[in-house]
Structure 1
Amino acid sequence: MSKRLVVSSLAAVAAVAAGTVVFVSSADAAVPDKPEISKATAHYTAEADGGASLTFTASVADNSKIKNLRVLAWPASSGLAPTAAEMRDVEEATCKATSTTVSTCTYTVKTSAKEAATLPEGVWHVSALATAKDHDTTFAPHAATFTVKH
């Protein structure tokens, strides 16, 4: 048994004996090996000029940092079922690091009044493909939903 392990063990025993429990954690211990998409939200807003905007935001974590997050919004009524392979060619969100392993990614798109009027009403899904700098990927076919109303 190494001296460092013995000293650490004795320190833990002393802390418990004194009635004090100390928890040591590492932020990197909870960081996923593959990209993890969380806190995903989508907001569709009809603009005063008749146009519309969609903002999708998600927190993305990976132990090798995030390379990009690709985003595709599609109407549920369309019957589409995008695959991860198809997502490789869609638009990217803008990602900003909030720590060494987590980024907040935001995708915003605006449409003209003419374009907004042609969007199918009802529930829409947002699919997202996260790619880490080590090239691991995670695909979320239904990362978020929103409703289009005219």
Structure 2
Amino acid sequence: MSRRVALSVVAGVVLLGGAGAFVLARAGEQSPASAHSTARYSAPDGNRDGSLVFVTDVTESSGVKSVKVLAWPQQSSLAEKRPTAEDMAAAETAVCKPAGQDTLRCTYTVRVTDADAKSSPRGTWYVAVLVTGKDGTTTLNTEAADFTVR
């Protein structure tokens, strides 16, 4: 192998190694993400309260600072503008538990009384979720899951 070819091979290995390190570093800087989100709504029945249970898996390489959850009806003012990060600041926080490397399973549960159900708009509702990483990065999904109020 000539010296020029050997130098080209070494330069290529160094370049590819640098690119690989960049990709790995970049992967560590990705925004937080939620996945596999589900919402289950149970209406009150007789003397028994109903509930809304929202579950999502959250990944964030820096760690998770908070997961905020907001349920909103399709037939509302939020339907036109969608919830914003500012709207989510006052939202309630989900409870998160480890579910694997860099992954948390986050659950939000709220009791639904008969009075709540009677005053709630009928139809499709969406669940918005705002994930904030310990490094300050955020991801907002305004339609992480949906459910129907009848």
**TM, length-normalised to structure 1:** 0.75
Counterpart CA distance in 2 for 1:50 and 1:83 is 34
Counterpart CA distance in 1 for 2:74 and 2:28 is 32
Q: Would you say the 8 A contact 2:54–2:108 is kept in 1? A: yes
Q: Would you say the 8 A contact 2:43–2:112 is kept in 1? A: no
Q: Structure 1: which 4+ aligned runs deviate by more than 6 Å?
A: 29-32
SS of aligned partner of 1:142: strand
CA shift in 2, pair 1:63/1:111, >3 Å: same
Counterpart CA distance in 1 for 2:66 and 2:129 is 10
Question: Is 1:140 the counterpart of 2:138 in the alignment?
Answer: no
SS of aligned partner of 1:85: helix
Mapping for residues 78-93 of structure 1, pairs under 5 Å: 78-80=76-78, 81-93=82-94
Give the number of the structure whose residues are more often helix, by fraction: 2
CA shift in 2, pair 1:38/1:32, >3 Å: farther
How many Å apart are 1:96 and its aligned residue?
0.7
Mapping for residues 30-69 of structure 1, pairs under 5 Å: 33-48=30-45, 49=47, 51-69=49-67
Aligned counterpart, 1:74: 72
CA RMSD between the two structures: 2.2
Counterpart CA distance in 1 for 2:113 and 2:149 is 14
Size of the aligned set, in residue pairs, is 124
Counterpart CA distance in 2 for 1:66 and 1:105 is 11
How many Å apart are 1:32 and its aligned residue?
6.6
Mapping for residues 89-128 of structure 1, pairs under 5 Å: 89-128=90-129
How many Å apart are 1:100 and its aligned residue?
3.5
Q: Would you say the 8 A contact 1:65–1:100 is kept in 2? A: no
Gapped regions of structure 1 (runs ≥ 5): 2-28
Counterpart CA distance in 2 for 1:115 and 1:63 is 38
Gapped regions of structure 2 (runs ≥ 5): 1-5, 7-25
How many Å apart are 1:66 and its aligned residue?
1.2
How many Å apart are 1:31 and its aligned residue?
6.6
Q: Would you say the 8 A contact 1:50–1:116 is kept in 2? A: no
